[in-house]
């Protein structure tokens, strides 16, 4: 199965930076095999980027960093999944920065999941704990684990089982985001295995097995391969390095060799 590499550009690049970055990534990754690349620029730059590309290779997609669940209406400052439906193929939903700075809760997030799926956008549901949930003895902290399981199950709430194959879960422990303190691949694998179990308990093996799990949090060109070599880690969500063309290209090349 092709690995998925998502670049979350956050609110970093200006329009001109974004056009240069998008052009460079497209040029370098156009012919890469065995990897699916998803770029998530700031919302306002999605259309200029899409228009600048003219032809979009099948394996390179655009993602929104956020969507609003209602289609149209009095929601000042928001852009809906409905409005983005022909512009993006993916959307990041429930990123920890939105949970923290925009006060998003699991209820709103599951509405966003549903809106994405209704309009043919593949959601990337972000979940992750505040504090490390596995101690040095290898024991799970029930509270931290419970919080992440809640984010996962409530986010998936009301997602139809035949849509599970369109959902990606990005496991992003908050302590690892932007800190240079990535969770180790072994830690990540243990958490992802646990989350898969919880998903299976609730929805059954068939549907749960369709959901892809990826890792995010201080991904670098040095550590990327360590996660990607595990079949249960289907890809990576990169923030900081995703706006550095050479680093992001390198991670995609690593993924291409592994898948």
Residues making contact with ligand PGA (CB under 6 A): 8, 172, 177-178, 216-219, 237-240
- Could you count the other beta carbons within 10 Å of the beta carbon of residue 16? 10
Has 95 been annotated as catalytic?
yes
Active-site annotation holds for 59:
no
Catalytic residue among 36, 95, 104, 129: 95
> CB 241 → ligand PGA: shortest distance, Å?
6
Backbone angles phi, psi at 207, to 5 degrees: -60, -45
SS3 of residue 11 by DSSP: coil
Q: Nearer Cβ to ligand PGA, position 221 or 259? A: 221
C-alpha–C-alpha distance, residues 216 and 235, integer Å:
9
Q: Least CB distance from residue 57 to ligand PGA, whole Å? A: 23
CB 38 within 8 A of CB 234: no
State the minimum distance, in angstroms, from the CB of residue 75 to ligand PGA. 24
Q: Which residue is nearest to ligand PGA (CB)?
A: 239
Kindly name the residue from 97, 104, 129, 172 that is annotated as catalytic: 172
User: In the bound complex, what is the minimum distance in angstroms from residue 188's beta carbon to ligand PGA?
Assistant: 13
Nearer to ligand PGA, 13 or 217 (CB): 217
Q: Given the structure tokens 């700075």, which residue do they identify? A: 101
207 or 239: CB nearest ligand PGA? 239
**Tokens representing residue 109 in the block:** 């997030």
Helices (H), the chain: 15-29, 46-53, 81-84, 96-101, 106-118, 142-156, 185-203, 205-210, 224-228, 245-258
**Closer to ligand PGA at the Cβ: 114 or 218?**
218
Residues forming the active site = 95, 172
């Amino acid at each position: 199965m092709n690995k998925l590499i998502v670049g979350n550009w956050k609110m970093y690049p200006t329009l001109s930076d974004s056009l240069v970055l998008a052009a460079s990534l497209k040029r370098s990754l156009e012919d890469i095999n065995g990897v699916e690349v998803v770029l998530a620029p700031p919302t306002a730059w999605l259309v200029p980027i899409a228009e600048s590309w003219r032809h979009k290779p099948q394996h390179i997609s655009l993602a929104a960093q956020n969507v609003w669940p209602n289609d149209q209406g009095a929601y000042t400052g928001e852009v809906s999944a409905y409005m983005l439906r022909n512009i993006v193929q993916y959307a990041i939903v429930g990123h920890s920065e939105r949970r923290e700075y925009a006060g998003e809760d699991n209820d709103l997030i599951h509405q966003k999941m549903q809106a994405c799926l209704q309009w043919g956008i593949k959601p990337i549901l972000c979940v992750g704990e505040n504090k490390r949930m596995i101690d040095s003895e290898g024991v799970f902290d029930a509270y931290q684990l419970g919080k992440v399981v809640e984010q996962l199950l409530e986010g998936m709430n009301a997602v139809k089982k035949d849509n599970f194959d369109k959902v990606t879960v990005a496991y992003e422990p908050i302590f690892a985001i932007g800190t240079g303190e990535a969770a180790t691949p072994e830690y990540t694998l243990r958490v992802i295995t646990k989350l898969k179990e919880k998903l299976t308990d609730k929805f059954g093996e068939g549907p749960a097995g369709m959901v892809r799990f990826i890792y995010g949090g201080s991904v670098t060109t040095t550590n990327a391969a360590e996660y990607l070599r595990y079949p249960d880690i289907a890809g990576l969500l990169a923030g900081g390095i995703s706006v550095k063309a050479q680093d992001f290209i390198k991670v995609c090349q690593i993924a291409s060799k592994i898948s």
